[in-house]
Amino acid sequence: QSALTQPASVSGSPGQSITISCTGTSSDIADYDYVSWYQQHPGKAPRLMIYEVTNRPSGVSTRFSGSKSGNTASLTISGLQAEDEADYYCSSFTSSSTLAFGGGTKVTVL
Amino acid sequence: QVQLEQSGAEVKKPGASVKVSCKTSGYRFTDYYIQWVRQAPGQGPEWMGWINPHSGGTNSAQRFQGRITMTRDTSISSVYMELSRLRSDDTAVYYCARGTIINDYWGQGTMVTVSS
């Protein structure tokens, strides 16, 4: 059982926006602005998409954005494209100086 | 460019140990922690621990303490993760990644299969 809770799947049509949630506790997401989001295609390593809740690394499309409210972080993908179909994972620093991951959300582009 | 190159796939018997290497290049080795994450088939990532390449200090997840050893060789910009007393549920892809809270570069992964 993963430390952070994500929906198993989210789907949307091309051009639509979708939001993936990541729920933690007062010992992780609520207490630290160290939430990251990763995209993973089958057989590939994870790719960093968002760090420190809202920041995008160089090279990541502006269609990806992050936010946080209380103990829940969210990743929004705007203008959904076929290439966005992948698994997405959240992670958060914890009060135990460890890293917690979510169980992952499979994004399907209809 | 930054690269993390991991060692090849391993097949081990229950009770054995495995040592996975991660050779880095393209940046100053001692400037960034390296963390180890594993991913069982069909599952989300699981944090295992991290090593400070400058000091050699480590921190690992409680569930692996006593079984995991992380080391580094600064002369060749490489880190190593050894997991002992392997069980079938240790079957997973093991990744090294640069950084602790923010993992901007990842190795390609090493498949470790534990089977009798």
> What pLDDT is attached to residue A38?
97
Residue A86 burial (CB count, 10 A):
21
Inter-chain touch A99–B106, beta carbons under 8 Å: no
Confidence class for position B10, pLDDT limits 50, 70, 90: very high
Tell me, what's the pLDDT at B68? 98
**% of chain A surpassing 90 pLDDT:** 95
Among the partner residues A52, A98, A103, nearest to B44 by beta-carbon distance: A103
- pLDDT computed for residue A1 by the predictor: 57
Q: Which residue has the higher pLDDT, B60 or A1?
A: B60
Residues of B with CB under 8 A from a CB of A: 35, 37, 43-47, 59, 61, 95, 97, 100-104, 106-109
Mean pLDDT of A39-60: 96
User: What is the H or E stretch that residue A106 is in?
Assistant: strand A105-109
Cα–Cα distance for residue pair B97/B22, rounded to 1 Å:
9
pLDDT computed for residue A19 by the predictor:
98
pLDDT band for position A3 (cuts 50, 70, 90)? confident
Residue A57 has pLDDT above 70, yes or no: yes
Residue A7 C-alpha, separation from nearest chain B C-alpha, in angstroms: 12
d(CA B26, CA B37): 21
Judged against a pLDDT cut of 80, whether residue B25 lies above it is answered with yes
The answer to whether A34 contacts chain B (CB < 8 Å) is yes
Is B22's pLDDT higher than 90? yes
Whether the pLDDT of residue A2 is over 70: the answer is no
Cβ–Cβ under 8 Å, residues A102 and A58: no
Instruction: State the pairing for strand pair A64-69/A47-50.
Output: unpaired
Tokens 């954005």: give the residue: A65
Q: Please give, rounded to a whole number of angstroms, the shortest distance from the CA of B87 to a CA of chain A.
A: 18
User: What confidence tens digit (pLDDT) does each residue in A63-74 have?
Assistant: 999 999 999 999
- Stretch B20-24: mean pLDDT, rounded? 98
Tell me the chain B residues in contact with residue A91 when contact means C-beta distances shorter than 8 Å.
Answer: 45, 47
Q: pLDDT-based confidence at B101, cuts 50/70/90?
A: confident
Q: Determine the pLDDT at residue B7.
A: 98
| Pair of tokens at residue A20 | 């993936």
Confidence grade of residue B70 (pLDDT, cut at 50, 70, 90) = very high
Q: Among B59, B95, B102, whose Cβ lies nearest the Cβ of A51? A: B102
pLDDT in tens, B46-66: 999 999 999 999 999 999 999
The pLDDT assigned to A89 comes to 97
Distance between CA atoms of B30 and B48, rounded to whole angstroms?
A: 20
